[in-house]
Chain A
Amino acid sequence: MLDSERQSIDLDIVCVGLGPATGGFLTTLSRGLIRADGTPEIESKVMPGMPLQVACYERADDIGFGVSGIATRARSLKESFPELNVAEISLAAEITSEKVLYLLDPIGAGRRSPTLRMADRIIRALKWLPFFEKDAFELPYIPPFLRKEGGFVFSIGQLMQWVGADLMSTGTAVIWPGTPVSGPLIEGENVVGVRLVDQGVDKEGRPAGGYMPGMDIRAALTVVGDGPVGPVGRQLDEHFGFPEGNQHTEWAVGAKMVIDLRDDVRLEPGTIFHTFGFPEPEIFGFMYAHTECIVSAGIFVPSWFKNPARTSYRYLQHWMMHPYFWRYLEGGRLRSWGAKSLQESGRRGEPFLVGNGYARIGEGSGSTNVLTGSGVDEAWMTGKQLAESVLELAKAEKQYTKENLEQTYVKKRRSSWVEKEGRIAEKSRDGFQRSVVRGMIGMVLAGFTGGKLTLSGKSGKDEASTLEDYYRGKIPPAELDRIRRECTEQGLPLHDALMQKVGWPEIPFDGQLLVSQQDALLMGGKVQAPAGYADHVVFLYPELCENCGDKICVEICSGQAIEREPEGGVRFDREKCVHCGACFWNCSHSVAAGEGKSNIEFRAGAGGLHSAEN
């Protein structure tokens, strides 16, 4: 079939990605589209006489197959749902208690700075204090900017299912899961819609049986809420660039498990823990109690963690086995598991929010607050603000031009708490680029001074060390070579061998919570890859991969979907991919095609996680 046979439909508004931002957008928009008597409040331009024709295309196989453990103040959700009763939402609870813990390293295998080692010694010497328990020091005071009191614990999967059901019941917008969007349709400087991915193709994207070219969805407004690794947002970034001074330089991969606690362990629903210090000082962790017997536990591995053999899965297992948490989690059972990338540049990663025919909302629009570690609340609010603006423009019969969207949506966003708090947070984490201690002090300074005081770090993209640098003094270069060679021959990542070499104990698999990464794909993530779609992870210049020494993409891959080839290159197995997107921002090779573009292209793809509990 020729490209000219590609079909096209016209809508008024097309949305990409159904996360909290698009949830906020569609919830707000849907309430303004129909009058009480059932007639359209705003008439469609593409179907005169009908209400606005609005559709949302979501990559995952169902709504609510996203990943995030959420403890949120939920200010924007409460605005949208003043009568919100969390009992209606599965795995939701009001926050009842908060703890922030500094975890000591009971194993001694982590790479701690002399300052931290000294702090550890002082804390251990004071272990008779009431704040010390099970190798953890509970901060006696939680700064106000970090507190989530009055908020909720959610499972993003269940929250989005609830939001989606509410939306669908209005009948004003349709949501199409299992429908990845390939990219934006750009004509000149105008975005005129999106193109869906081709179906019925082989793994290289060549037409095969049942070939159907991805349809063009043309719309007056394209709402881009496809998150930090979404193909539409990133292609817009490539085409339009960033406002001066802004860029996506900081990332993290978050990995989490939803766990049934063993029968004799109960936690008060809404209990939340945040941690730092272990398994490596750069890694943050959390545990949230959804019910008295179901918790989410997870960690964040940031791009400023220099270990080129960084892995979220193995570190998550060590984090869970820290004595402070293992007393709760031992004997537990894995219900669900998943991973996602987080855009950690926050306000400084903000792209052009609007242009002719498009608007950006949510995490991909730089709304995440990197100081408070809050993203869902902000994302929902940006969607809500855009919907209010769209209704305003539509009622005034104004077009969705850059100028009109700036006068409404951008203006609204700039004058809101999302912007104000985002500005405070903007430089709060800079210190982490030099050291963890400096980073923590920087956060506290920024939080208490409203962003007026911060500690600087280097600017530009975080770079991992080489293995030789990172393990200097711990593993001799010859031994590193041997490990690298052996793992390459066996097609294995390096992190297990390296971590064990420096003292991390083997994980004692129990078959129900401590399971291999491959088993987690099946037991927790239930990862699926429908046939007829092309590989969405593409190595642009394979020869670069062959000559790449550390292959961080293999180490960080949340599903072990990228493997070392014995011949020296790497290969991708779509059936294991959870679509976390960590591969492209961990790739250390820039390619000539564009500054900041790595050798891994993370395209639109179908399938991924099949759990609605994350």
Chain B
Amino acid sequence: MNGGYQIVVCGSIVPDPLQTLEPVAGPTGPALRNEMMLPAVLDPWAAHALYEAANLAKQHSGSKVWWVALGPKAKLQQLMMSMAQKVPFELVALDGTASGFSDSWEVAEALAGAIESIPELDRDRLLLFGGWESASRGTGVTMQMVGERLGITDQFQGVDELTIESDGSLRLLERVEGGHHQVSVCGSPPVVVGWATGRLPEPPNNPQVGMLNMRTVMPALQRAKLVQLSTEGLTFHSVDLPEQRRETRIVRDSSADEIALELVDWIKSD
């Protein structure tokens, strides 16, 4: 494409799942105990979207990546310390809750508003990326609603691969049942792509990228617009963490077959 793509990635923080997570009833609804003291990581689904965006931008000269993130400013700032060295982007920060208990519709509205306010965004070159799901929000509808509010009708969810064909069309692989993919071809942007895991590993830390990003990250955080999400009309009947069951054994030199058989036995017995 002449001039490259304009790729907007939506994604924010989730509490580091390796920490002690405990749901509690807070004054404004469900929350995690001591959530603000927990280290945050970029939502893994959104991280895949960001890596894919950066890779695509690298392959198509003139492309640019914006990262639109809604979260507590202090936590976004913390996140940037680990993410800004990964890939080049320009941050658009929104200061508000990143709780998994927020209403997806309201989140989508805030994100769409922020995207619309990006100066000189060319919709004909726009690829709107995000996570298909979220580690803190399993509804999988936020990106769809962001796209709808922006009037983007070509939407693909659970995407594992996006390739640009020689005629400029977009070929996408969406996950369907049974480990298969549905192949779609879309003529041109704008398009919404809700990424599954994609194909790319986490990029290594690149200090040059980090220093470049930080020149725009800090100003973006400083001018982050405050977003107040209302909790009106939203009730939660119960909140639980996924149950973990862990039985540690140390076994050496087992063959793959033996491990597989044991897993099968374990699944059958459950």
Subset of 6 A-B contacts with CB under 8 Å? A9-B208, A174-B81, A178-B82, A178-B205, A196-B207, A519-B248
- Asked if A179 is an interface residue, CB under 8 A from chain B, the answer is yes
Is B77 a contact partner of A610 (Cβ separation < 8 A)? Answer: no
A169 to B72, CA, bound (A): 13
Cβ contacts under 8 Å, A526 to chain B: 18-19
Is A217 a contact partner of B78 (Cβ separation < 8 A)? Answer: no
Known: A62-B39, A169-B77. A199 touches B204 (CB 8 A): yes
Q: Is the interface of B mostly helix, strand, loop or mixed?
A: loop
Q: Report the interface size for chain A: residues with CB under 8 A from the other chain.
A: 47
Known: A64-B39, A528-B18, A610-B18. A179 touches B207 (CB 8 A): yes
Known: A165-B74, A491-B252. A63 touches B81 (CB 8 A): yes
Is B204 a contact partner of A210 (Cβ separation < 8 A)? Answer: yes
Q: Select which of A168, A171, A217 is within 8 A of B81 by beta carbon.
A: A168
Interface segment, one of B53-61, B146-154, B190-198, B210-218: B210-218
- Asked if B163 is an interface residue, CB under 8 A from chain A, the answer is no
Question: How far in angstroms is the closest Cβ of chain B from A62?
Answer: 5
Seen from chain B, the residues whose Cβ lies within 8 Å of a Cβ on chain A are 16, 18-20, 34, 36-39, 74, 77-78, 80-82, 84-85, 201-202, 204-208, 210-211, 214, 218, 222, 246, 248, 250, 252
Question: How far in angstroms is the closest Cβ of chain B from A533?
Answer: 10
Known: A63-B81, A179-B205, A336-B20. A9 touches B211 (CB 8 A): yes
Closest 9 CB pairs of A and B: A90-B37, A526-B18, A199-B204, A171-B218, A610-B18, A62-B39, A212-B204, A612-B39, A168-B77
Is B206 a contact partner of A177 (Cβ separation < 8 A)? Answer: no
Question: How far in angstroms is the closest Cβ of chain A from B49?
Answer: 20
- Asked if A539 is an interface residue, CB under 8 A from chain B, the answer is no
A491 to B250, CA, bound (A): 11
- Asked if A7 is an interface residue, CB under 8 A from chain B, the answer is yes
Is B207 a contact partner of A215 (Cβ separation < 8 A)? Answer: yes
Q: Select which of B205, B207, B222 is within 8 A of A9 by beta carbon.
A: B207
Question: How far in angstroms is the closest Cβ of chain B from A251?
Answer: 29
A189 to B205, CA, bound (A): 30
Q: Which residue of A lies closest to B20 (CB)?
A: A335
Q: Select which of A174, A519, A612 is within 8 A of B38 by beta carbon.
A: A612
Given contact pairs A90-B37, A171-B222, A612-B37, a sample of 4 additional A-B residue pairs in the complex whose CB atoms are under 8 Å apart: A90-B36, A178-B205, A179-B207, A516-B248
Is A177 a contact partner of B81 (Cβ separation < 8 A)? Answer: yes
Q: Which residue of A lies closest to B41 (CB)?
A: A62
- Asked if A454 is an interface residue, CB under 8 A from chain B, the answer is no
Is B77 a contact partner of A158 (Cβ separation < 8 A)? Answer: no
Q: Which residue of A lies closest to B214 (CB)?
A: A174
Is A90 a contact partner of B34 (Cβ separation < 8 A)? Answer: yes
Known: A165-B77, A610-B16. A212 touches B246 (CB 8 A): no
Known: A199-B205, A212-B204. A176 touches B81 (CB 8 A): yes
Cβ contacts under 8 Å, A161 to chain B: 37, 39, 78
Is B201 a contact partner of A158 (Cβ separation < 8 A)? Answer: no
Cβ contacts under 8 Å, B207 to chain A: 9, 55, 176, 179, 196, 215, 217
Q: Select which of A62, A176, A516, A518 is within 8 A of B16 by beta carbon.
A: A62
Cβ contacts under 8 Å, B84 to chain A: 174
Is B19 a contact partner of A611 (Cβ separation < 8 A)? Answer: yes
Q: Which residue of A lies closest to B17 (CB)?
A: A526
- Asked if A175 is an interface residue, CB under 8 A from chain B, the answer is yes
Q: Which residue of B lies closest to A333 (CB)?
A: B20
A522 to B201, CA, bound (A): 24
Cβ contacts under 8 Å, B214 to chain A: 174
Question: How far in angstroms is the closest Cβ of chain B from A180?
Answer: 9
Cβ contacts under 8 Å, B36 to chain A: 90
Q: Select which of A9, A55, A64, A169 is within 8 A of B74 by beta carbon.
A: A169
